[in-house]
Amino acid sequence: MRVAYWPGCVSRGFTPELHGSTAKVAPLLDIELVELERANCCGAGVVAEHNQELVDTLNARTFAMAQQVEGAGMMNICSTCQGAQSECQQRLDADGAYREHINSHLEPEGLRYEKGGEWENKNLFWLLVEDIGLDALKEKVKRPLTGLRVAPFYGCYVVRPTSRLGYDRYPDRDRYLDWIIDAVGAEPVAYAGSHKCCGFPIITMNKTTSLRQAGRHLADAIDAGADCLVTPCPLCHLNLDMQQPDASKFVERELGVPVLHFPQLLGLALGLEPKELGMGKHVVKTTEVDAKIRELAAA
């Protein structure tokens, strides 16, 4: 399957292991990545806060570039990109006159966003369930992650608001991570924070509120017996992993639970090694997960 691939800024920046692991995993899932190298930032909610017409134009530009990739939908690997882009797409699709106006800003570059048809923009974990299928995934699993207890952390932008995230057509999108964890042989862990907010958007404005959120969800996952968390959002990863030592202070308890990027979990099940998947680049060491993987390989 061919996709117009938007990796997002953070996966090229502070979480390079996400971009790297996606590149490793995609061929194993028969996904051909056509990277959108000229596309711009989705705005991450911040540009939307500043100027709606600007953010709608910037994302229409990305969609227009993606639509030039023949026979391909668009794929992202970031919950925040997904949500920010879906918000713009909803406005663009809702009103023809508005869409024309936004397209007029793209004209000098020879670009145009077209509504309709089957063209969709999907996060990798949605695409995996809806377009590849869990049965096909199971067939590709080389190393079932038996005994690994994985707590899913979805990220707000792919679960709310359901009205513009395709839940009318795909009502179970907020359960897919659980299904995938199960499909790769691991055990999904239920805990209070799986669909809550990591707190990242206000890390520079109110660190206490931000890291209390991250810390609480990590603690809940630990108490529910998780070996690790997995998230399809690199911004959540920044707060849950990079900030975890600080989050621990704000919830006044030890944490120390590794947080995997979604493609890393897939990669482990598809037979790749933790190091190849960039797991050595996490702030919270993945040592115990690595050890479990070695045991599985030996078994």
Partner 1 sequence: MADFTLKLRRYDPDSGEAAYWQDFDVDMPPERSVLDGILKARADEDGSIAIRCSCRAAICGSCGVRVNGQSVLACNTKLSDAVRGSKQDGAIVVEPMGNMPVIKDLIVDMDAVHWKKVHRVVPWLLPEGEPPEREYIVDAEAMIDVTQSMACIQCGVCVSACLSMEVDPEFIGPAALAKAYRFVGDPRDAHTEERLNDLAEDEHGMYDCTHCFACIEVCPKDVAPMNQIMRLRRLATADYGIKDSNNGYGHEKAFVDIIRRWGTLHEAQLLPRSFGQGSLVQSQVQPAALKQLIDSAPTAARGLKSGKVSPWKVLFHKKLADQDQVRRIYDEIEGKDDRLELNLYIVGESEDDEGEDEEEGTE
- Could you say which residues in the range 121-180 bind partner 1, by CB under 8 A? 156-157, 160-162, 168-169
| Nearer CB in complex with partner 1: 26/62 | 62
The nearest distance, CB 159 to partner 1, in angstroms, is 8
Scan residues 244-263 and list those touching partner 1 (CB under 8 A). 245-246
| Nearer CB in complex with partner 1: 52/187 | 52
Contact 259, 234 (CB under 8 A): no
Contacts of residues 132-139 at CB distance under 8 Å and 24 or more positions apart, as own/partner, are 132/1, 132/29, 132/30, 132/31, 134/179, 134/180, 134/183, 137/29, 137/180, 137/183, 137/184, 138/183
User: Chain centroid to CA 161: how far?
Assistant: 16
d(CA 143, CA 184): 8
The nearest distance, CB 141 to partner 1, in angstroms, is 28
Number of amino acids touching partner 1 (CB under 8 A) = 75
What torsion do the CA atoms of 270, 272, 276, 277 make, to the nearest 10 degrees?
30
Name the token pair of 154.
């979805």
| Nearer CB in complex with partner 1: 80/184 | 80
| Nearer CB in complex with partner 1: 83/267 | 83
| Nearer CB in complex with partner 1: 85/213 | 213
Residue 15 found at the interface with partner 1 (CB under 8 A): yes
Residue 74 found at the interface with partner 1 (CB under 8 A): no
Contacts of residues 288-293 at CB distance under 8 Å and 24 or more positions apart, as own/partner, are 288/227, 288/258, 289/148, 289/227, 289/228, 289/258, 289/260, 292/145, 292/147, 292/148, 292/227, 293/143, 293/145, 293/268
d(CA 287, CA 255): 14
Residue 48 found at the interface with partner 1 (CB under 8 A): yes
The nearest distance, CB 78 to partner 1, in angstroms, is 11
Residue 105 found at the interface with partner 1 (CB under 8 A): yes
Scan residues 269-298 and list those touching partner 1 (CB under 8 A). 280-283
Residue with tokens 């920010």: 84
The nearest distance, CB 100 to partner 1, in angstroms, is 11
Scan residues 186-225 and list those touching partner 1 (CB under 8 A). 196-197, 199-202, 204-210, 212-213, 216
| Nearer CB in complex with partner 1: 137/235 | 235
Q: Per CB under 8 A, which region of 24-32, 37-45, 124-132, 261-269 contacts partner 1?
A: 37-45
Residue 115 found at the interface with partner 1 (CB under 8 A): yes
Residue 57 found at the interface with partner 1 (CB under 8 A): yes
Residue 43 found at the interface with partner 1 (CB under 8 A): yes
Task: Choose, by CB under 8 A, the member of 91, 122, 143, 173 that binds partner 1.
Answer: 91
Q: List helix spans (H) across the chain.
A: 9-12, 16-28, 46-50, 52-67, 79-94, 96-106, 124-127, 134-140, 176-183, 207-223, 234-237, 244-250, 262-269, 287-298
The nearest distance, CB 54 to partner 1, in angstroms, is 5
